Amino acid sequence: MVNGESLSHLTRKHGIKISAGFPCSVEDIGLAVGEMVGHSSVKSAARMNSAVVIFLDQVEKVNRLIETGPR
């Protein structure tokens, strides 16, 4: 649990897979995503194969992140 919140309500639609063009830590990518959508919106982050998968609290924020891309 994160701050008393359950992660069980998250679905695949809450997640985004990020493949960096150069080696990055999960923390670096999580901080960059947090700057774009708000740090409290990042609920989970993990490395999966060569990418990082991040789950956000709202599907709308995932969609906004995909639409706007990196700054």
| Mean pLDDT on 21-34 | 91
DSSP string, 13-64: GGEEEE--SS---HHHHHHHHHHHH-GGGEEEEEEETTEEEEEES-HHHHHH
Asked if residue 63 belongs to a domain, the reply is yes
Contact (CB, 8 A) for 57 and 67: no
What pLDDT digit, counting tens, does each position of 36-56 carry? 999 999 999 999 988 999 999
Asked if residue 4 belongs to a domain, the reply is no
Please tell me the predicted confidence (pLDDT) of residue 5: 58
Q: How many domains does the chain have?
A: 1
Domain range enclosing 34: 12-68
| Mean pLDDT on 29-42 | 94
What pLDDT digit, counting tens, does each position of 5-21 carry? 566 788 999 999 998 78
Token digits of residue 64: 């906004």
